[in-house]
Structure 1
């Protein structure tokens, strides 16, 4: 049995226990023991779900790497060249730009596509790829939005046009055609610089030949970068930072209670989005909201949350997939706890790639170097006037 299949079956087993307990307690308050078991099962399911997501990401990465090797056959000495390049990269981290050999310098500059290693350095391609994957797995906005990469950081103008009022009409023969002027507009994507905190790395650690340098940088730098950027792309104010998708979204006509979401609220949220966007629509909410949805039933007594753990298909809500984003607010008074619409209309602009800078002197007295990452990012929801994403905003009281 494959590892992924085993993990999915383990997740399905936990879900079965959740479902059985929920059914057993239907129509009455849970006992203290049942509530404690309920909470434990939800925690177990989260862990099992995370394990499945991790294995699926790994298999997807493995598949893409295999396809790349098939599409671009590697020469026999590729592995040796890769080892030499990694060695040159580690030499630079240990000794700085003036301390590496001429051979290592030539190899590193040729591979990295830069000259003059006197200050910062672009990380190897393999590391940049692993950081990108980590960002997509973090938070939710990099999964939901459309990423645009640009070579420079000047304002990127995104044009919009609204021609939804125009429609064909019957015109009698030899009569003049009607005129309709589309409404043109534009939005500007800027480039806000995000820097991670400086990560100190000791020379002793770098000198350990068995140490996985790439795993360290991916984990420490990408996680801290992802936390800050995902939060702003979700709820940013738009003042000296990106305007988050929650602040771009239009409030639904539904007015859910301060502390709950009903089936009617979700139906009204979906109904408010134009069919052109709802066709590719997805929900976005946090894990806490997900579990509050578990107990909602439709008019026939069926739970609206359709979990696909039994057959390995993605979970859906009214047949629509959802994205978990823990920077979305919880269910609560005045909060926007749920989004629905074509989330791909949110455009995330990144200037070049995520980069890592090496600091030689800052931590020298601690026999350490400092590493930090940075990238320039902005995000907008392209809305030409028909509002591709709506949000569910709870009453204040």
Structure 2
């Protein structure tokens, strides 16, 4: 993978985007809706554009990875510096996997042996840091057994589903404890100075402070029981998979709360405190004028760091819009590592945002660094060793404490669009 491959993919995607722009421009100039044939063509072009975007992202991620380590010998040398190599072969055996998995289960207990520790080191795992976790319930096919067998494929295809987005542009504060965290605010924008005459008494005034208080709501995954048989028989390295899966389950729940939380027993989603910057001119649809008005509703002091927030469905609708000069509003990231933009500002995709529909608030714009996410320590993964001992299994569960709310001192750093209709 090279820069030139990335450049070629971007050029090919640029041609597809050009065709999309020309199609939208033609429809706009003729003041009509898309025909069924044009919609079909558009859908094909949009699918191709997404495919190229995915390929470009993969290439650039690989390029970044390759830039970190380019020599296999360097990797081996780094590993040798962590643990002296013995004269014995370093080939990983089934016994190593079994010992490492047991080591992960019995970490920080009297049952954790030196042999388990050596197996964990050989597999580059660190149970003392909790960077391991376990498999599905049992060797039943759908509960993990499909990863075991005489000679299974040594891989695992996971279903993917996008989540988050707001988290990437919000401000995160990490604390060691979950004690109440007040965040002070003040609004003096309505106060100015004045010209006074000679020997004129100056009137006293005061500044009023307020605050937003952050707590620490406790998130938990369901218990993940893992049978001894599966720990011994699975040939797929699912340790990182399960560990990441537990974290992802918590992240998905939090991502929805950052947007839609009602503040009662859960964080305050930003839509609860953002103000309405624009009500769409049309019923159930968004127009170019609507987007311009929403963007203009944000004060220039916040506009410097402002971005658009919407889900993929809303972005697809906006891709078809052009301005009064038949120029597309949506522009792809043709420059490596640059974001897709709308009216000159980056688009952040968050699938927790509502779809375009009557009375919905599908698009927001503003400075989302004013949304504060408070986290307490990290994700805590626990191993329930005694609870399932009579079943020959170990339970795994993860917890995390967090809160979130929009900081608005009074001048509305984030605003949303409300779609006309009921």
TM > 0.5 = yes
Q: What secondary structure sits across from 1:159 in the alignment? A: strand
- Residues 46 and 372 (structure 1 numbering): CA distance in 2 closer, same or farther, change over 3 Å? farther
Give the drift of 1:336.
0.6
Residue in 2 that maps onto 1:338? 363
Deviates more, 1:346-355 or 1:45-54: 45-54
CA deviation vs aligned residue, 1:320-359 (integer Å, no higher than 9, x gap): 1121111110111110111111100000011000121122
Contact 1:122 1:356 in 2 (8 A): no
Deviation of 1:258 after TM superposition, in Å, equals 3.2
Residues 98-147 of structure 1, C-alpha deviations (whole Å, 9 max, x = no match): 32115867999xxxxxxxx9xxx86239xxxxxxxxxxx84112112111
Contact 2:261–2:267 (CA under 8 A) maintained in structure 1 = yes
- 1:382–1:255 Cα change, 3 Å: same
Pick aligned residue for 2:414 from 353, 378, 389: 389
Would you say 1:360 and 2:385 are equivalent positions? yes
Give yes or no for contact 2:267–2:405 (8 Å, CA) kept in 1: yes
Offset at 1:392? 0.4
- The equivalent position to 2:310 in structure 1, one of 285, 288, 296, is 285
Q: How big is the alpha-carbon RMSD for the aligned residues of Structure 1 and Structure 2?
A: 3.8
In the alignment, what sits opposite 2:254? Answer: 229
Distance 1:102-1:174 versus aligned 2 partners, 3 A rule: farther
Q: Deviations over 1:56-105 (max 9, x none)?
A: 45655776899xxxxxx979622569x9xx99864432446332115867
Q: Distance in 1 between matches of 2:387 and 2:44?
A: 46
Counterpart of 2:50 in structure 1 is 46
Please list every run of 5 or more consecutive structure 2 residues that lacks an aligned counterpart in the other structure. Answer: 71-76, 91-96, 121-126, 133-161
Label 1:395 to 1:64 Cα distance change in 2 as closer, same or farther (>3 A).
farther
**Structure 2 vs 1, CA of residues 251 and 31 (structure 1 numbering), >3 Å: closer, same or farther?**
closer
User: Given the superposition, is the C-alpha separation of residues 7 and 198 from structure 1 closer, same or farther in structure 2, using an over 3 Å criterion?
Assistant: farther
Residues 137-190 of structure 1 deviation map (CA, whole Å, 9 limit, x = unaligned): 841121121111000011111111111122233344554445432220011111
TM normalised by structure 2 equals: 0.75
Distance 1:166 1:227, change over 3 A: same
Q: Is the 8 A contact 1:148 1:350 kept in 2?
A: yes
| SS across alignment from 1:309 | coil
CA gap of 1:173–1:80, structure 2 versus 1, over 3 A, is farther
Please point out which of 364, 367, 371 is paired with 2:396: 371
The structure 1 residue matched to 2:103, chosen from 84, 92, 95, is 92
* CA shift for structure 1 position 34: 3.7
- Secondary structure of 2:282's match? coil
1:257 alignment partner, SS class: strand
For residues 409 and 420 of structure 2, what CA distance do their matches in structure 1 show?
A: 28
CA distance in 1, matches of 2:55, 2:294: 31
Q: Equivalent residue of 1:139, what SS? A: coil
Residues 204/65 of structure 1: CA separation in 2 closer, same or farther (3 Å cut): farther
Distance in 2 (CA, whole Å) between partners of 1:33 and 1:297 is 20
SS in 2 for 1:349: strand
Seen in structure 2, the aligned counterparts of structure 1 residues 44 and 194 have a Cα distance that, compared at 3 Å, is farther
Give the match for residue 101 of structure 1. Answer: 113
Distance 2:176 2:415 in 1: 32
Q: How many pairs are equivalent? A: 371
SS of the residue aligned with 1:269? helix
Cα deviation for residue 17 of structure 1 reads: 4.2
Q: Distance in 2 between matches of 1:370 and 1:216?
A: 16
**Distance in 1 (alpha carbons) for counterparts of 2:364 and 2:61:** 25
What SS does structure 1 have at the residue aligned with 2:377? strand
> For 1:185, what is the secondary structure of its paired residue?
strand
Range with bigger deviation, 380-389 or 5-14: 5-14
Q: Which residue, 287, 294, 304 being the options, matches 2:319? A: 294
Contact 2:379 2:400 in 1 (8 A): yes
- Secondary structure (helix, strand or coil) at the match of 2:295 reads helix
Could you say which structure has the larger radius of gyration?
Answer: 2
Matched-pair contact (CA < 8 Å) for 1:205–1:211? no
Residues 280, 290 of structure 2: 8 Å contact kept = yes
User: Which residue of the partner structure matches residue 132 of structure 1?
Assistant: none
